[in-house]
Structure 1
């Protein structure tokens, strides 16, 4: 086993599928590092079985909630409470060095050189560059560091209520001590910044190695046309569309076949691959479909996709 590892975290099925795409992208660019994923009980059993096809090690961990939920409410981002679970990554002391990556990232060029950097190396945050963004960072596992982080969280909380605020408090000299710990933006390029400084993207965009789908817009919430290789609908800038389509291309090529037989329901039903050729294939009877719906078994990639339901509704309305 490699003494170095890429580590990610999934707290539900959505992010677990994002993690599968991340793992596929890491393998596609040729890394031989160990791929490790931390998961919580929010990840279903059937998804856990599929994760084993993409990661060398899967470890179940407890959910660590933010010690200061009022801050999260003020930020209108209560979902960030679970991000403190990320701290478990410091307990992976079987590795000498790790690179943590959020499961909503995508690697498009090899980044193994990051293991040459010291703890804590990260990219400046676009919102406040004196802080680092905790979506991608190089660190050294340590039980001492883990315990100190937990103690700080309990004592001082986090200024943003999540892991990024806490980690910036703990590694408070990141912005001033050693410029070598400042990673280039190409290792954690967020969608939000590509259109705020478009000339820079046009100048340096070809060097980008990691795309980070930061914020509420996640690729798995978009509808994708596999036959055309394009998103069905998208409101946003061209760069964001291109990045999300890159994610979907990786998803269709390497992950879709592993999950298409699973009965994914709830929010996962938002993830639609619209393939006209597949839609034209013979489908089960209406009675069979009704039984499947009653049992919560929706064909979210086919007959029960939102687009197909909308088509049927339009046909009924217009008497077709």
Structure 2
């Protein structure tokens, strides 16, 4: 009796973690770090069915690796599966406590390497005893139910470790991965196209090992650049974007998503500009009020339905491509420029279409909270593991309030360089170039928009516009209402004597003389306008324009 008490006392204490449905017993050698504890229960009926139905015959299997799976569960596996192959208990040192998601995805890095070379913290690599052949890797992922599970360093660490084991295969045999998790795995590490089946919380993947090896060459977060800096009413905006892409030397397909609200006349114009039209059904954001600006921006999820393409470089219509970015096709999903904090800017991103990923995006709309209520915030919650490309590949036309004059002067020069230094210019702000008079950036007319104003970037856009055929330039004509709005804004800056002085510039934009609408006398609109007036932004009417000339007035 004394011996029994002595043995029990010196046995390592069991750790008991409460789950939503029961208590799960975990062995201490697995659970020395509470962050790695997984309360996910293995459904052995599901597991047995998956292994016996979807994996090759047992004669082809030589080894299964287990990571973050306790000894009792490994013994249970042996009992249920009754396979004679080798069982390898993989070891993974835990990540340091000071490695947080913010350290992997910092708000800012020194891209120019002016003060330091940005380097990510390192996560321990998985240790495989000996050199066994591993055909199947099984792991359990922790599920932080507090809402931060998608930005959990430990979940990322375990999934990267599993990917390393799978990709280390030297032969030509396939390797499968089983992840046991109540929340979906990283969708751009183990992709929807690689998902063989899912039953409950058990996910079986057959990863493309070549692509997986490429992904593992990436930095683990946006704390480093993915590549060195030196390495390799939007109809009008879309036509100019297409023109800029062709001018950059790209010969890849140009595909544009349009819905039924785009008239046949405008679709013909887009096709003439080089776009391949892809009709789609709009997707409503279920968490916003009707008629708000972001009501339909979940329609961007339809990108993942373009499954006839292996990879897509998505660009917003308010961008110009100044240099060929074809090399981005070598980058994985999601590659994008950093935005705020740990987030990325979805205006330009590399996407790998997959109907499975599309379904994932659709299935979680009710539960995932977007920080900004739009598609960008939603995608950032789904694709928390992403890859940082240099800002020159999505250079924002935006001057931050805290920027020093020297930085602003450098930005201004970058916008105007010919031949260009920047790869892509992203025209942020309410007033896009085609909604302004070509004489200067009309963001100068509104005090709150000065942060988006750049005459050099404005001139660059108009150089691309002027290279378009005249038939396409007609899609960039101004509506009468927009002409009145521009004149109204100039009058206010004249009254306020804005120090930038743009209100003094003589206007020579010939579009003021051209009208394609029934009503052309836009000056009359000014008689009843007040400071709270707002107008629509579409730059061309729904029907094919019948051009008329009108006299240029006070503008």
Task: Give the TM-score normalised by structure 2.
Answer: 0.43
1:21 to 2:240 alignment:
yes
Q: Deviations over 1:85-107 (max 9, x none)?
A: 11111100111111000101111
Aligned to 1:231: 440
C-alpha deviation, 1:82, in angstroms: 2.4
Indicate conservation of the 8 Å contact 1:100/1:138, yes or no. Answer: yes
More RCO (CA 8 Å, sep 6+): 1
Q: Which residue of 2 aligns with 1:153?
A: 365
- Give the deviation of 1:217 after TM superposition: 2.5
Do the aligned partners of 2:516 and 2:548 also contact (CA within 8 Å) in 1? no
Counterpart check, 1:167 vs 2:379? yes
Within the candidate set 117, 120, 139, 2:334 is matched to 120
Q: How many residues align?
A: 269
Gaps of 5+ in 1: 1-13, 175-180, 225-229, 284-288, 312-320
**What SS does structure 1 have at the residue aligned with 2:314?**
strand
Per-residue CA deviations over 1:110-136 (Å, capped at 9, x if unaligned) read: 1111111110000001xx131000000
Paired residue for 1:135, among 336, 339, 347?
347
C-alpha distance in structure 2 between counterparts of 1:241 and 1:82, whole Å: 32
- Residue segments in structure 2 that go unaligned for 5+ positions in a row: 1-232, 445-449, 487-506, 521-540
How far apart, CA to CA, are the structure 1 residues paired with 2:545 and 2:508? Answer: 12
> How far off its partner does 1:260 sit?
2.4
Give the superposition deviation at 1:168. Answer: 0.2
Are the equivalent residues in 2 in contact too, given 1:271–1:301 (CA < 8 A)? no
**Aligned residue in 2 for 1:184:** 390
CA deviations 1:270-311 (Å, max 9, x no partner) are 7999556996xxx9xxxxx999439x8998987348xx2446
Match of 2:519 among 293, 296, 319: 293
Distance change >3 Å, CA 61–CA 264, structure 1 → 2: farther
Q: Whole-Å Cα distance in 2 between the matches of residues 26 and 258 of structure 1?
A: 15
Aligned mate of 2:424, from 210, 217, 235: 210
In structure 1, the residue matched to 2:458 is 244
Is the counterpart of residue 258 in structure 1 residue 484 in structure 2?
Answer: no
Give the 3 Å change call, closer, same or farther, for CA 214–261 of structure 1 in structure 2: closer
Alignment CA distance shift 1:300-1:275 (3 Å): farther
After superposition, give the CA deviation of every residue in 1:213-257 in whole Å (9 maximum; x if it has no partner).
123121122011xxxxx4286614797221122112212320543
* CA 264–170 in structure 1, closer or farther in 2 if over 3 Å, else same: same
Alpha-carbon distance in structure 2 between the residues aligned to 1:22 and 1:166: 25
Q: Encode CA deviations 1:45-88: one digit per residue, 9 max, x unaligned.
A: 21111111123410111121212115x99xxxx31222211111
Which one of 65, 84, 98 corresponds to residue 298 of structure 2?
Answer: 84
Cα distance in 2 for partners of 1:291, 1:156 equals: 44
Instruction: Tell whether 2:418 aligns with 1:219.
Output: no
Larger Rg: 2
What is the root-mean-square deviation in Å for CA atoms of aligned residues? 3.7
Kindly indicate which of the two structures has a greater share of residues assigned to helix: 1
Q: SS of the counterpart of 1:216?
A: coil
Q: Conserved in 1, the CA contact under 8 Å of 2:516 and 2:546?
A: no
Residues 156 and 266 of structure 1: CA distance in aligned 2, closer, same or farther (over 3 Å): farther
